[in-house]
Amino acid sequence: MTKIRKAYKFRLKTNRETEEQLTRICGSARYVWNKSLAMNLERLEKGQGMLWYRELAFWLRLWKCSEEYGFVKECPSQVLQQKLMDQERAFCDAFDKSQPLKRLPIFKKKGRGDGIRFPQGYKLENRRIFLPKIGWVGFFKSQPVEGKVKNITVTTRAGKWYASVQVEQDLDIGKHPSDSEIGIDAGIKCFAAFSDGTLVEGVNSFRKHEERLAREQQKLSRKKKGSQNWKKQKSKISRLHHTIANLRSDFLHKLTIDISKNQAKVYVERLNIMGMSSSARGTKEEPGRNVRAKSGLNKSILDQGWGEFKRQLVYKLDWNGGELVEVNSRYTSQMCSFCGHVSKENRRSQSIFGCQVCGHEENADINAAKNILTVGQTGLACRANRNSDRQQEPAGIREGVLPVA
């Protein structure tokens, strides 16, 4: 049995009083984060030692007793303690050289990423949740909660409040019920092409709402910043962004669940999404070319959600006993899946592949997916053979063999 962590996200049934309570608690938690962060950043500038969780917890008790910061007593202590723990973890990640995108923690702004976590004191009963200092709050129960509840995180987005219930489950991960393997080629016009000939059209949620979003943003630019009409319009834009994100997330979850249940091994191309979506603007001295066209391509690339697609496939396949394998996609779009001939001329157009040697014609994305499957299977077979040969060699020879990546 393997222990896994899983989260169920539900929308809360809040009223005005509950929303005001949640807003005040989020405000107190945000204030404690910013206050402690300012203290640590100041100490770093002066070359002094950091204040970690235990020291900050002592300061938190002093703030609660003071008249100036006494309002934080309205917030549950565990919520504030969780914020201090999160900040300690953020500083540890910032100083960790193995982190690829390490940076110092930043100050939190009102309405951006507001969230509070309850590690204890909560109750979960049918279609309602009990939260400390808030009381019982109903929620829309879209699915049953299975496993032992570890914590509950309450967040807000686009004027709605959500509760993420994290549970711990004992999962018996055995062999995948299917022995099938498949290669997947990611694209823009076609979100994914499978090596079995299946084509999956993308939802393109941003592109479908792009014109409407531009109109709403133009309306916002004509309003006085900070006015009531400006706030209403900004809230409207936030709801539209939320709709775009929900459409993309729903599409990716349904697709990855279907793949993880039916495929034991999935081969995908290794993509550098950050490099692919980088700007072509350049500098004043050396301006880029086709900046507008590249900007449109970047929007389409990010609209697909390839990174999230791969992230979901990894853990869902793992839960079902499957495996995700990344392969080098070099020349897979130019190589014939029938005879193996590689040439630029084989790719007649964006969607048509025609081999110049054997005359094989096929959809270009499906041909690439077949090549990804072949490359992945060949790479695993070669690696398995090298490992078995290494085990059969004498110890003196094995020591001089370089490790296989």
Nearest to 369 by CA among 339, 335, 318, 321: 335
What residues are paired with 183 via a beta bridge? Answer: 267
Selecting among 185, 303, 318, 399, the annotated active-site residue is 185
Residues 366 and 197 sit within 8 Å (Cβ to Cβ): yes
Tens of pLDDT, residue by residue, the chain (405 residues): 789 899 999 999 999 999 999 999 999 999 999 999 999 999 999 999 899 999 999 999 999 998 888 889 889 999 999 999 999 999 999 998 887 778 899 999 988 878 999 999 999 998 999 999 999 999 999 999 999 999 999 999 988 999 999 999 988 888 888 889 999 998 888 899 999 989 999 999 999 999 999 999 999 999 999 999 999 999 999 999 999 999 999 999 999 999 999 999 999 998 887 877 887 777 666 677 777 777 888 888 888 889 999 999 999 999 999 999 999 888 888 888 888 888 888 887 878 888 888 888 888 889 999 999 998 888 765 555 555 554 444 333 232 222 332
Query: Residue 79's pLDDT is what?
Result: 94
Helix or strand holding residue 117 (H, E): strand 115-118
Choice among 45, 269, 303, 399 that is catalytic:
269
- Contact between 152 and 8 under an 8 Å Cβ cutoff? The reply is no
Catalytic entry in 365, 389, 393, 399: 365
Query: pLDDT value at position 386?
Result: 55
DSSP 33-91: HHHHHHHHHHHHHTTPPP--HHHHHHHHHHHHHSSSSGGGGGS-HHHHHHHHHHHHHHH
Is residue 365 part of the annotated active site? The answer reads yes
Please name the helix (run of DSSP H) or strand (run of DSSP E) that holds residue 400, with its range, or none: none
Instruction: Tell me the whole-structure pTM to 2 decimals.
Output: 0.84
